A and B are shown apart, each in its own frame.
Chain A
């Protein structure tokens, strides 16, 4: 009896909605209460209405043709990169071998439009080899002198010196593409260990140091 006065509402007013409000919300008393579900819901919802049929027109057909042509072209182009082959994954059919042989063509790039770090490793090496060969002894000695003064600067110099020769070098690369393929497979030479400290300087690790 003592608890009676504690609550604010009494009796029927304890409910959050009265009958009238429930009616406005669309909740009416005489609707059947849903029975308990026994089976899990279907994986996909039922399709309530059929979709509008697609209209086909000559223009659409042409667009379709263009679309398929484009995708087909892209799939055959060097831009389509396949996952690296796992070792021991032999070709199951003779024809697969033939197909694999066809697409060895690689995309050509205008390297001055790309960051230098994206250039293939071999390419960078080439540049350095060439620059090392071309310099005659006197010049090299001078360079070494400079090197003693500030070792950092020469690194940059060699790189930039070589940059304009890009186009000539591309031919050289093509010859050595075979080697590069192998480089892709085995990367024993690379040191992937990283303690996370020298992330800012990591770029330099990509290339071998310049040949002094």
Chain B
């Protein structure tokens, strides 16, 4: 992991967990696995705060611990991946909402906000939020169970040996998705506050299974690509192949022209779907590796287009097509004036989008040695570079955000105060006039400024989400390599 990632991580932690945890997290990123007292000494925080920070990090699965040689103390280390995934939380939520509806979304939201929860905690909290009737509890429970069956959440492995000062977690993969026993009678009693909620004796903890979400996002990415390349039906076709479920009603065109679609997609140059065999009327496979390689190429080309304009993109495509090209050939084939072609190809070389291979003829004693220089593309290294670039952009956007917040601290604070007062007054049953009076504490020019800040923040936030999308695609490509 590069230092760029470290910077992004500290900003993510800062925004969500405050300065103390940011300090501890940054320390752990820089120095790797370390015991408690080392963390305390280097970060120069009170011991109580360091402990609290570690608890929060562990609770949110952002840090893990392993027993030291001395079994009484533990070594803590950071889960960098999981911290970066916090950028993706909104996407998980909207995905669940689309697929399962509101209650499961709330369950996932609770889990994301708390790290892990017990069965009863999840059900009771969601039921309370919905303010639903006691008789409705089984309904909520069913939604919860469906999340487990679909593997969107899994059990947190429990410590295998409770006697030890540093618990060691077992890794029993078969039990990850076993359904819990839910005592509905007790649950209903707890919901009605007849028995205290802590008395449920619930010791099964649930966490969000990120990989399952990534699977869905991966599929959606492909379907979107198909929709863009062909049409809606083709996208659905891809889904059909995956699910082997035919939805005749929704996509009538697909059924009518099924054969045509099959041939068109199969013969497409992208080769994402290939015929696997002739048995039972032909069977097909989706090549995920191929698909993500295509997507990565597409992305790199787009980046070059936006960064260096279309001529550079043309040169890049040419090198991609020819695999190895001499500089002279580039100007001839790309039909770009020699000087410009050279300038652009060296620019691409400088930014690591092209690579140079030198071929030397064996030394001869007479005459000057002739050597060839060939340009070629190493997609994997480009993707890694781009990933780095993404983290840099992410860092810039987030830094800008905190800068804006810092510069306009006074006015933002004022707005917050006014809002707090207004809320308090509303709770006490203030009249409309009084509320309007409070609202007027913010002058029109201030309001204008607030709107401006809001707009800027919104833009930067959207940017963060979009960059995360790109990061996801690049990571998927690297995964399938």
A residues at B contact (CB < 8 Å) = 18, 24, 26, 49, 51-52, 54, 56, 59-60, 62-64, 66-68, 70-71, 73-75, 77, 79-84, 93, 95, 99, 107, 109-110, 112-121, 159-160, 163, 167, 180, 183-184, 187, 190, 199-204, 206
Contacts and interface: CB of A to CB of B under 8 A. Distances in A.
Contact of A113 (B93, B167, B309): B167
Given A77-B113, A99-B420, A18 B51 contact: no
A97 to B, nearest CB: 12
A67 B90 contact: yes
A115 B74 contact: yes
Nearest to B54: A118
B137 interface: no
B307 interface: yes
B91 A63 contact: yes
Nearest to B466: A54
B48 A112 contact: no
- Consensus secondary structure, chain B interface: helix
A204 B417 contact: no
A84 B90 contact: no
A80 B89 CA distance: 18
Contacts of A201: 70
A70 B15 CA distance: 11
A115 B91 CA distance: 33
Given A107-B55, A113-B159, A64 B113 contact: no
Given A84-B45, A107-B59, A115-B167, A26 B346 contact: yes
Interface of B: 15-21, 36-37, 45-49, 51-56, 58-60, 65, 69-70, 72-74, 89-91, 93-94, 109, 112-113, 156, 158-159, 162-163, 165-167, 198, 203, 205, 306-307, 309, 327-328, 339, 342-343, 346, 368, 417, 420-421, 458-459, 461-466
A182 B141 CA distance: 43
A40 to B, nearest CB: 22
A79 B56 contact: yes
19 contacts: A26-B339, A52-B306, A63-B94, A70-B109, A71-B16, A79-B56, A81-B18, A84-B46, A95-B417, A109-B55, A109-B59, A115-B165, A116-B165, A117-B36, A117-B51, A117-B74, A117-B166, A120-B51, A187-B46
Nearest to A190: B47
Contacts of B459: 54
A54 B19 CA distance: 31
Contacts of B36: 117-118, 203
A49 B303 CA distance: 12
A190 B51 CA distance: 15
Nearest to A96: B417
Given A54-B466, A70-B112, A82 B18 contact: yes
Nearest to B328: A24
Nearest to A170: B198
B90 A118 contact: no
Contacts of A62: 94
A74 B73 contact: no
B17 A80 contact: yes
B362 to A, nearest CB: 19
A70 B465 CA distance: 14
Contact of A67 (B45, B47, B156, B461): B461
Nearest to A81: B20
Contacts of B167: 112-115
A119 B94 CA distance: 36
A64 B465 contact: yes
B51 A66 contact: no
Contacts of B49: 81, 84, 184
A101 to B, nearest CB: 12
Contacts of B417: 93, 95
Contact of B465 (A67, A71, A114, A199): A67
A21 to B, nearest CB: 8
- Which residue among A107, A115, A204 has the maximum number of chain B CB atoms within 10 Å of its CB? A115
A120 B198 CA distance: 20
A195 to B, nearest CB: 13
Nearest to B326: A24
Nearest to B421: A95
Contact of B15 (A64, A71, A112, A184): A71
B59 A79 contact: yes
B94 A59 contact: yes
Contacts of B59: 79, 107, 109
